[in-house]
Amino acid sequence: MRTVNWNDLNPAERRQLLTRPAMSGADDISSTVSDIICRIRCEGDKALKEYTAAFDRVVDGNILLSTAAITEACERVTPAMKDAIAHAYRNIATFHEAQQSVPLALDTQPGVRCELHTHAISRVGLYVPGGSAPLVSTVLMLAIPAKIAGCRKVVLCSPPPIADEIVYAAHLCGVSEIYTMGGAQAIAAMAYGTDTVSKVDKIFGPGNAWVTEAKRQASMDFRGAAIDMPAGPSEVLVIADDSANPAFVAADLLSQAEHGPDSQVVLVTPSVTLAEQVEIQLQQQLKQLSRAGIASKALASSLTIICDDLPQACIISNDYAPEHLIVQTQEPRQLLRRLENAGSIFLGAWTPESVGDYASGTNHTLPTYGYARTASSLGLADYQRRYTVQELSAAGLQGLANTVTTMADAEGLDAHKRAVTIRMDVIRQEQQA
């Protein structure tokens, strides 16, 4: 990892340092994804079958898992894995059930009743990456809140060959519409619908650059579907002082570096000694990883930043706005009030990022690539929409009439004003009768 001293940099160099590595081939990806979306939107299943044959190597066109296939996949999952999934399910469900909103109803003034309600998004699509690391945990993170929210239709897509554990986790969450397809074509099929694949209103889940671009394009088209959040490659920032265990810090950095060669990990510390010890640990632990090649590529674009003190470390972290933020300091909770921009924060030596990825209860679907400045971690509210209700009595309208008509006059909206005055005329007539 490259090591730099924060105080040796001018403001422009600091901004450049915290800029994520550019995602390669972005222009080519955008054009190709656009073509895929256009064909699936216009040709439906015909185009989808061609893409699944070309990209997913599925040639029989049978992408929807049958009830029998789901049952068989569930039976192949080991008891130990089922127990682990059940444990994670309980914690995730507990945390997300606690996020249920309470309807709000109040009188803003006499006779003026205002209410805030929520209801579930009707149709949602879940995308679960497969490939070299089938993300069973992602099924739980996406499907559990959909179930708690009460979404009427839940569709799940994952690239073939779909892992038995993914099917089991989906079944446990009540998802029965499971498609074995991946990539941009899966996002397009869910966003626009085909004769085979149900159209959804909102799409959730991480993916590679093709999936991310397909989600972006679909969300910008009124015919498409909304998405959970903007995202890029996975990342972690660790704030550590000289009390931190360098082996723990290195392990946490590597746990994100192994996600992909475009992942980025950052260590921010006031301790040069700790930075040196972490680098030694990185090299030692890297040799023990099955995905060492992937992690090594990620480390090549990763950073160690030497700062003055922990308050400055918090400033750097807020500027970077990491997906995951780990705080390994003597008093980690004392820094919490200084930390503003992060997808999820992990406090203390005994809180590795891995627990959030799998089973602590929080959601591991998080904004990346700096979007944590404005976007939030996935939660129950993302599967719901809010709407307001208002109800006025005649007296309530009388109390607001002058304010509304005065403002409507100022904006030159006569019909707005008349919608009030015509009612006021009736109220006055009734009062005089």
Regions in the chain scoring below 70 on pLDDT: 22-26, 61, 131-132
Q: What pairing do the DSSP bridges indicate for beta strands 112-120 and 104-109?
A: antiparallel
The CATH superfamily holding the domain 26-231 is: Nitrogenase molybdenum iron protein domain (3.40.50.1980)
Taking only the tens place, the pLDDT of each residue in 95-144 is 999 999 998 999 999 999 999 999 999 999 999 998 667 789 999 999 99
Tell me the C-alpha distance between 267 and 276, whole Å.
11
Q: Which residue has the tokens 């679909």?
A: 218
Tokens of 161: 């060959």
In the chain, where the domains are located? 2-20+232-361, 26-231, 393-432
Instruction: Count other C-beta atoms under 10 Å from residue 69's C-beta.
Output: 15
Residue pair 294/262 in contact by the 8 Å Cβ criterion: no
Assess contact for 48 and 196: CB atoms under 8 A: yes
Task: Give the model's pLDDT for residue 134.
Answer: 78
Question: Which superfamily does 2-20+232-361 belong to?
Answer: Nitrogenase molybdenum iron protein domain (3.40.50.1980)
Under a CB-based contact definition with an 8 Å cutoff, are residues 383 and 145 in contact? yes
d(CA 211, CA 128): 10
Contact 204, 365 (CB under 8 A): yes
Residue-wise over 380-412: b if at least 16 C-beta within 10 A, else e? Answer: bebbbeeeeeeebeeebbbeebeeebeebeeee
Global pTM value? 0.93
Would you say the CATH fold of 26-231 matches that of 2-20+232-361? yes
| pLDDT of amino acid 25 | 58
Q: What's the start-to-end Cα distance of the chain, in Å?
A: 85
Q: What pLDDT does 290 receive?
A: 94
CA atoms within 13 Å, Cβ hemisphere of 92? 31
Catalytic member of 213, 324, 353, 364: 324
Active site residue 323: yes
Active site (annotated) includes residue 171? no
Active-site residue identified among 96, 323, 353, 364: 323
User: How far is the C-alpha of 219 from the C-alpha of 39, rounded, in Å?
Assistant: 17
φ, ψ dihedrals at 105, nearest 5°? -145, 130
